[in-house]
Structure 1
Amino acid sequence: MVGNLKGKIALVTGASRGIGKGIAISLGEAGALVYITGRSVHQTNSIDSISGSLLETKTAVEEAGGICITVPVDHSDDQQIKSLFEQIDREQNGQLDLLVNNAFGGVRSLIAAKGKPFWESDINLWDACNQVGLRSHYVASHFAAKMMTQRKQGLIVTISSWGGLAPIFGVAYGTGKSACDRLAADMGVELKPFNVASISLWPGIVGTEQFHQLADANLKGTDNNLGVAAIADKFNWETPLFVGRVIAALCNDPDLMRRNGKVQIVAELAARYGIVDEYEHRPVSLRSLRFLLAQGLPMLKGRANLIPDLRVPWWILLLTVLKSPKI
């Protein structure tokens, strides 16, 4: 159920690489016109040329069948975000059907803070995780909602994380992701009367370039607990394109408003919609009995498909994760 997004206008923030790039390609694959953003200049902690990566994403989106418009944006600058939405409003006659809040600026800072408690980390770690992230999601949603409510249709997807449920990469990261979930929920309350949906989306373990770096940094010198094992052997990893295909299907869900304001899990939506990744695989949810048993008993991983894909109730999962050491 990928669906047809021809005639739809989408915006994916932070689409120069990783999850954002995969989402943009998937939306193009479904026929959407996709605006993508990324920073236009080198910054101190940048990995490579962001503008070059945006052009690579544009090419990939168009090869997949979509139309792509690149807009260099520094999402720490509210004025640049405002100008972005003014451009979309002007060029698309007020139409914006989908906003994917994905931009995140904290990976390098999280790597630098690895192994340190929050009081020994640089105080700027908070802003690194939550300025281009939580705050920029709010700002982008503010301008998107102005457009969507006028047309009484639209979807805002905020990319969040299982880190909103349990300790993963520290206090600043986890607090920001929990806040993303609440942001999506509260926006959903105010947007519902206008037939605009807001959801928080939790991917599983996604094998992006940056996550490889973050995972490698956290693996060094860390005991082999459950979370680390899930990263180390790449079992049940999702691809960025898989996440994007789920969002494309979500846009065509006739019961979309039932999901409004709620946390949605990529793998669980994929099972519902019949979505697979580019390798014809369908990873399971991180709360699936299949995933949890295979992680606890590594000898079962080779036969994981024999384990039922049953969802563990949230209250049991909470008891488990709160007792587990963080990554």
Structure 2
Amino acid sequence: MTCLQGKIALVAGATRGAGRGIAVELGASGATVYVTGRSTIAHRSEYDRPETIEETAELVTMAGGHGIPVQVDHLDPDQVKKLVDRIEQEQGRLDILVNDIWGAEKMIDWDAPVWKHSLEKGLRMLRLAIDTHLITNHFTLPLLLKNKNGLIVEMTDGTADYNYKNYRVSMFYDQAKTSVIRMAWALAQEIGPYGCTAVALTPGWIRSEMMLEHYGVHEENWKDAAVKEPHFIISESPRFVGRAVAALAQDSELARWNGRSLSSGELAQVYGFTDLDSSQPDCWRYITEVIDAGKPANVEGYRYIKYKKTSLPNIETLAGKGC
């Protein structure tokens, strides 16, 4: 599909994981995608991971789009401003902003109450999760708002319904991921009058590079991880949430989602897209009804397989005739 041909996207935090999956799927739909992050071929961030923004940009181009890597620390206002100035100079517009900046997994003391959690790591986590998004919004929105139908996606972990009812294991992590949901709602109030849309979006149990490495598997044999963790059978590839963003960006009725908290599984049921294995995992319902309920692993009724057309509306139907 090339419904996003001519559209300009910025995926902030696209080095790996969900950010990379989103960038690639936007590219597969024909978009020009600026991919940012701190890790390049020449320099690794504090994450000390091998993935780079150059690799992501290459994957975007291979998928059919145009990937442009730009090294940016989104905690540095000057770097973010320079990035936006470059996009405006080179493209004259910005249609899609995905705030996927994170990079704090190694700073979480899981199950540690706030008085035992490292304060330094906790506050750093909040800066990476919240300040980066605010700084990026501050500098990018004037460019994005020049065109109607712009889309802002605030990436988080968990839906509003789930996060507001459940403690997310760490005070700092809970604040980080829940605050982003509220940020998307607040953005919606500010940009709605300009004809643009902001949403919070969560993947399910995502098979990021770090997650696959944790279980000692690769994307090709990810099901083998179920031996160690049976519930991993509900997991999804980073491309699944990428297809959710691409579907949103192509929806002519996009404004109906303004301010909403959404999940990849929910949007798959609306738009009809699937994961790489032709399935539609409904992770957050599974987490609530199976994992949290203490039931044994069983994805029956939670991982729909699509081998043929169904009555679900597809992207072309929602976007009108053609693209």
TM-score range, shorter chain: 0.7 to 0.9
Task: Name the CA distance, whole Å, in 2 between partners of 1:184 and 1:207.
Answer: 24
Task: Name the CA distance, whole Å, in 1 between partners of 2:234 and 2:210.
Answer: 18
Equivalence map 1:190-269=2 (5 Å): 190-212=190-212, 233-269=231-267
Q: Deviations over 1:44-68 (max 9, x none)?
A: x423245xx2121122111111101
**Structure 1 residue 35, shift from structure 2 partner:** 0.3
Task: Name the CA distance, whole Å, in 2 between partners of 1:175 and 1:66.
Answer: 35
Task: Name the CA distance, whole Å, in 1 between partners of 2:201 and 2:228.
Answer: 20
2:289 — aligned with what? 292
**Structure 1 residue 246, shift from structure 2 partner:** 0.8
1:301 — aligned with what? 298
**Structure 1 residue 201, shift from structure 2 partner:** 0.6
**Structure 1 residue 303, shift from structure 2 partner:** 4.0
Q: In the superposition, relative to structure 1, how do residues 189 and 305 fare at CA in structure 2: closer, same or farther (>3 Å)?
A: closer
**Structure 1 residue 214, shift from structure 2 partner:** 7.4
**Structure 1 residue 301, shift from structure 2 partner:** 1.3
> What 5-or-longer segments of structure 1 have no aligned partner?
217-228, 308-327
Native 8 Å contact 2:10 2:35 kept in 1: yes
Task: Name the CA distance, whole Å, in 2 between partners of 1:155 and 1:101.
Answer: 11
Give identity over the alignment, percent: 32
Native 8 Å contact 1:161 1:202 kept in 2: yes
Task: Give the letter for the 2:48 counterpart.
Answer: I
Task: Give the letter for the 2:85 counterpart.
Answer: E
2:90 — aligned with what? 91
Native 8 Å contact 1:148 1:154 kept in 2: yes
1:220 — aligned with what? none
**Structure 1 residue 215, shift from structure 2 partner:** 8.6
Normalized against structure 2, the TM-score is what?
0.81
Task: Give the letter for the 1:184 counterpart.
Answer: A
Displaced runs of 4 or more, over 6 A: 213-216
Number of corresponding residues: 287
Normalized against structure 1, the TM-score is what?
0.80
**Structure 1 residue 287, shift from structure 2 partner:** 2.3
2:104 — aligned with what? 106
2:60 — aligned with what? 61
Q: In the superposition, relative to structure 1, how do residues 296 and 178 fare at CA in structure 2: closer, same or farther (>3 Å)?
A: closer
Native 8 Å contact 1:3 1:252 kept in 2: no
1:121 — aligned with what? 117
Q: Deviations over 1:8-42 (max 9, x none)?
A: 00010111111111111111111100000110433
2:126 — aligned with what? 130
Native 8 Å contact 2:203 2:264 kept in 1: yes
Native 8 Å contact 1:102 1:158 kept in 2: yes
Q: In the superposition, relative to structure 1, how do residues 197 and 3 fare at CA in structure 2: closer, same or farther (>3 Å)?
A: farther
Task: Name the CA distance, whole Å, in 2 between partners of 1:178 and 1:215.
Answer: 27
Native 8 Å contact 1:168 1:174 kept in 2: yes
> What 5-or-longer segments of structure 2 have no aligned partner?
217-226, 305-323
